[in-house]
Chain A
Amino acid sequence: MLELYGQQVSSRLLLGTALYPSPAIMAEAIKASGVDIVTVSLRRETSGGKAGGQFWSLIQSLGVHVLPNTAGCHSVKEAVTTARMAREVFATNWIKLEVIGNHDTLQPDVFGLVEAAKILSAEGFEVFPYTTDDLVVAERLLDAGCKVLMPWCAPIGSARGPQNLDALRSLRGHFPGVPLIVDAGIGRPSHAATVMELGYDAVLLNTAVAKAGDPVAMAAAFGKAVEAGRQAFLAGPLEPRDMAVPSTPVIGMAAFS
């Protein structure tokens, strides 16, 4: 079982709730993948609007944990205020902390991220920081009070898959006891399996499922890939070798010449 801030969850896949063709397909995808945690956000409600309430009722009916995000926040102040408002609405100390530093790459402003993580941790928040794969930033986030780290493996929504396996390996090696969740950049189930085989604890994705031709089937495929990758990690994968090594016994070969 995966434990995140004292909460045990059985699924190692976390799903976003945006970009699906319809709310019904989103709900089906969440069920098909077997996830325990979904991410949500806070946005302006229109006067007289009920959109937020309808969405929230649907999410609550699915019986999953919610991880509110601070998506789109570009400053510490914005992210901290959004987190406080999210705690009020969603009644959870969990927050997926995003402080965006660049419009084109949507990469985190890691300096603002560390500052915001410090403020929120001191206020009792349980911070899931969306960060890069930088080792020193990871250390600072842990110092700030984070007990889970969520490095990207490629830019949000890019579907490129792991761009720097060495950095991901290095993070895993340095923090054996810290739950590490790859957040952002996963495009295919094989990408998810790859990072799980490295020993990552979980994978968080959204676009790769929501924008697939069949989001429900893709959600199920990701569920299987994450499980397969985890099982493979625990089973101890073979390391690559430079030369061929025969698998069939050489001893006992017939001699025909």
Chain B
Amino acid sequence: MKLTVNGENHEVASGTLAALLAELDYEGGWLATALNGEVVPAKERDGCALADGDRIEILAPMKGG
């Protein structure tokens, strides 16, 4: 399945957002995720099915003004 993760193209095997995070080596309770522009809370990632062409954002705390 082809996905766009943080603006980059990826070919992945994962069928859910939770599996995708593990497959791409993302871990940590500080991550925030969005699928096609909509927020997916951490507790809903297991049940969040992915489809070809989906756009995923994985964000983390960063310095800011």
* Residue ranges of A at the interface with B (Cβ–Cβ < 8 Å): 16-20, 26, 39-53, 55-56, 59, 68-69, 71, 77, 81, 84-86, 88-90, 156, 206-207
> Separation in Å of the B10 CB from the closest CB of chain A?
9
B residues 26-41 near A (Cβ < 8 Å) are 26, 28, 30-34, 37-39, 41
B13 within 8 A of A: no
Partner of B64, one of A41, A53, A77: A41
| Residues of B contacting A44 in the complex (Cβ-Cβ under 8 angstroms) | 6-7, 57-60
Closest to A68 in B: B64
Majority-rule SS of A interface residues: mixed
Contact B60 A17 (CB under 8 A): no
Q: How many residues of B contact A (CB 8 A)?
A: 26
Contact B28 A85 (CB under 8 A): no
A81-B39, A85-B32 as given contacts; A45 in contact with B59, CB under 8 Å: yes
Partner of B60, one of A18, A20, A45: A45
Indicate with 1 or 0, residue by residue over B12-23, a CB within 8 angstroms of chain A CB atoms. 000000000000
Closest to B32 in A: A85
* Residue ranges of B at the interface with A (Cβ–Cβ < 8 Å): 5-7, 24-26, 28, 30-34, 37-39, 41-42, 57-65
Partner of A39, one of B37, B38, B64: B64
> Separation in Å of the B45 CB from the closest CB of chain A?
11
Contact A42 B39 (CB under 8 A): no
